Structure 1
């Protein structure tokens, strides 16, 4: 894992140099993704928060800085931002990060992107909004992005695993 972290740090240096030449939404996405990777490699809470702060700034800035970008890229930036905020939640247990995730993603629900529904369900269950979690999981289950294994194994959904509707939702996709 140390070697992977070193490669990520090296790539951060290269992408930060590219940023000085010309920033693009794709570059911002890569730069933030590299920082999110460092969060998973670090065992230090303060380091994790530092990398999350950097990733959030890069993603928020990219979402507003570029007037023209493909919708797909905007959705990717927003999903990475949601991931960053939910990592914040997992580290701090502050519910406001789940709320921010919902605020970032709710305007994008018309895109029909399955990962948006997944993250909205994840944020909802962390806020103990179980009816909303069910709503978003039902939408998620109707998309091509649906991953039964992820849903069944993700720790956020532990409190739902014994619910009949959750079991049926998972089983309905197996058939």
Structure 2
């Protein structure tokens, strides 16, 4: 794990140098993602919060700094930003971070992107908004992005595994 952290930190230095030459939305995404990777491997709350704050600033800035970017890039920036806020929620248990996640992703629902629906379902589930979580999970299940293994990576959905609607949704996808 120590070698992995060293590689990530080295790449942060490289990407920060590239930023000084020319910033792009894709570079901002990589720079933020590297910081989010450090959050995952850190065992110190203050370090995690520091890296989250850096990542969030990079993602927010990239979303507003570039008037022109492909929609796919904007969605990826938004998804990473939502993930960062959900990581913040996991660390602090402050519901406002789940609310911010919903505010980031709700405008993107018109693009029928599976990961957007899945993240919205996760944010709703953390706020005990079962009906909304169910709604977004059903939308997710109807996309080509649906992946049962990926769905099971979200422990927050364990609370629904015995619910009839959840089992029917899974059964429908397996058939």
Q: Does 1:21 align with 2:21?
A: yes
Other-structure match for 1:65: 65
User: Post-superposition shift, 1:154?
Assistant: 1.9
Q: Does 1:98 align with 2:102?
A: no
- Per the normalisation by structure 2, the TM-score is 0.98
Superposition pairs for residues 148-163 of structure 1, below 5 Å?
Answer: 148-163=148-163
Deviations 1:111-166 (CA, angstroms, capped at 9, x unpaired) = 11100000000000001000000000000001111111232342111211111001
Structure 1 spans left out of the alignment, 5+ residues: none
Q: Decide whether the 8 Å contact of 1:125 with 1:133 is kept in 2.
A: yes
Q: Decide whether the 8 Å contact of 1:126 with 1:156 is kept in 2.
A: yes
Q: Decide whether the 8 Å contact of 1:152 with 1:161 is kept in 2.
A: no
**What is the number of residues matched between the two proteins?**
175
Other-structure match for 1:134: 134
Distance 2:162 2:122 in 1: 17
Other-structure match for 1:41: 41
Query: CA distance change for structure 1 residues 5 and 167 in 2, over 3 Å: closer, same or farther?
Result: same
- Per the normalisation by structure 1, the TM-score is 0.98
Distance 1:57 1:153 in 2: 26
Other-structure match for 1:89: 89
Distance 2:85 2:138 in 1: 23
Superposition pairs for residues 104-123 of structure 1, below 5 Å?
Answer: 104-123=104-123
Distance 1:71 1:62 in 2: 13
Distance 1:157 1:112 in 2: 21
Structure 2 spans left out of the alignment, 5+ residues: none
RMSD: 0.8
Q: Which runs of 4+ in 1 moved over 3 A?
A: none
Distance 2:91 2:171 in 1: 32
